[in-house]
Amino acid sequence: MTASRPCGPTLVLGGIRSGKSAFAEELTAGLGSDVVYLATGVAVDDDFAERIRKHQESRPADWVTVEESLNPAAALEPALSERHGKTAVLVDSLDTWVSNLLWQHEEAPAQDLEPMAMDKLQALLDTGCRPGVDMVLVSSETGMGLVAPTEVGRRFQDLLGLVNQKAAARCSTVYLVAAGIPVTIKDER
């Protein structure tokens, strides 16, 4: 994998319930600009619907929400074109987006799915590097646990690991949140 030069976005990594989303929301709110919140979650069951509801309730009312599960960069275009001046974009989350891609293309071999995911991620990162856009990306860190016991679990871990690596290489700032405490692991601002 070749590293791209960092251009500005921020990546917030952490485990499930680590506090990464709350920290990313705090970071985004502190950017002092209009906020577009890109939500990638799809309510596939009652529990996930409840998680989405809680995330929605935690956001300030003046944040614009865009919901897109498969093509985040394309979904951001209309919202960004309506804004003039500095805009903060919070993408929550890359791991849910990767999960959505896997379910949408579950029969696709890795050699087809990985380039598609990387192209879509590249488009999203390019959006985050545009003048006047401050982007914060949220993702689960996948490399700290056991290897998944199922094929789909391993495909998810492998693809998310690649996505996180590419995002971290392109972002100028990367945080890891553990037990609600953010730790800076990269700062090239």
In tens, the pLDDT along 99-130 reads 999 999 988 998 999 999 999 999 999 999 99
- Output the pLDDT for position 49: 86
Under the banding of pLDDT at 50, 70 and 90, the label for residue 2 is: very low
pLDDT tens track for 122-160:
999 999 999 999 999 999 998 787 889 999 999 999 999
Q: Does 2 fall in a domain?
A: no
Q: How many domains does the chain have?
A: 1
Backbone torsions φ then ψ of 56, nearest 5 degrees: -60, -45
Which helix (H) or strand (E) is 96 found in, with range? helix 94-104
Read off the tokens for 120. Answer: 């879509």
Does some domain include residue 126? yes
Taking 80 as the threshold, does the pLDDT of residue 4 lie above it? no
132 sits in the region (left: phi over 0; alpha: psi -120 to 50; else beta) called left
Residue 4 forms part of a structural domain? no
Chain mean pLDDT for the chain: 92
Could you give the residue numbers annotated as active site?
55
Domain with residue 53: its CATH number is 3.40.50.300
Q: What is the pLDDT of residue 1?
A: 43
